[in-house]
């Protein structure tokens, strides 16, 4: 069984992504693809619903930062909805809180559908992990030393996979 289930919803007001279970590298590729596509479509807001999120890893948080960062350039706001204290603290620890807003909102009225898996090749996953961690180092200098080894390892892995 997967660590998480991801659901999405979109209408004229924006897009929403609901995470049931753990927000981790295993679901980050499809969340990045969907969220960044919504930013490219210039939706006014992307909401990430963490009400049923049981945990987050650094790749997942880096993907949220990517969506937020690219959204800010294009006029799209990223809002983190229904995050409990632990989830907020995780986002604050890596500096993601600086580029997102937090809201509490009932999203049960949205029309949700399952988010289809994105390219799950090892190379695609590695690129997602690298891009997420590079974004974390851009938003908070403390993350440079925190993720230095991860970034170096993933770069080498991508080199090997690309040969």
Task: Check residue 96 and report its DSSP letter.
Answer: G
The residues, any chain, with a CB within 8 Å of residue 95's CB and separated by 6 or more, are 136, 139, 140, 142, 143
pLDDT of residue 12: 85
Give, for all 163 residues of the chain, the pLDDT tens digit.
468 999 999 998 899 999 999 999 999 999 999 999 999 999 999 999 999 999 999 999 999 999 999 999 989 999 999 999 999 999 999 999 999 999 999 999 999 999 988 777 899 999 999 999 999 999 999 999 999 999 999 999 999 998 8
Q: What is the pLDDT of residues 54-81, one digit of tens each?
A: 999 999 999 999 999 999 998 999 999 9
CB neighbours of residue 75 within 10 Å:
11
Is there a contact between 2 and 33 (Cβ–Cβ < 8 Å)? no
Count of domains for the chain:
1
| Helix (H/G/I), strand (E/B), else coil: 44 | coil
Task: Check residue 107 and report its DSSP letter.
Answer: -
Q: What is the residue range of 97's domain?
A: 4-162
CATH of the domain at 33: 3.30.750.24
- Cα separation, 83 vs 69, in Å, equals 19
pLDDT of residue 10: 95
- Cα separation, 24 vs 94, in Å, equals 15
pTM: 0.95
The residues, any chain, with a CB within 8 Å of residue 96's CB and separated by 6 or more, are 61, 64, 65, 68, 136, 139
Tokens of 155: 């770069």
| Helix (H/G/I), strand (E/B), else coil: 115 | coil
pLDDT of residue 1: 40
């Amino acid at each position: 069984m997967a660590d998480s289930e991801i659901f999405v919803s979109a209408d004229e007001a924006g897009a929403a992504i609901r995470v049931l279970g753990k927000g981790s590298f295993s679901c980050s590729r499809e969340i990045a693809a969907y969220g960044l596509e919504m930013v490219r479509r210039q939706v006014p807001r992307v909401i990430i619903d963490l009400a049923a999120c049981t945990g987050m890893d650094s790749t997942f948080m880096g993907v949220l930062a990517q969506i937020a960062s690219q959204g800010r350039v294009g006029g799209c706001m990223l809002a983190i909805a229904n995050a409990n204290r632990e989830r907020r603290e995780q986002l604050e620890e890596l500096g993601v809180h600086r580029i997102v807003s937090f809201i509490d909102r009932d999203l049960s009225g949205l029309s949700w559908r399952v988010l289809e898996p994105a390219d799950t090749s090892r190379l695609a996953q590695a690129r997602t992990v690298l891009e997420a961690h590079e974004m974390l180092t851009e938003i908070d200098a403390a993350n440079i030393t925190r993720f230095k080894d991860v970034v170096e390892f993933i770069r080498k892995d991508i080199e090997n996979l690309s040969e």
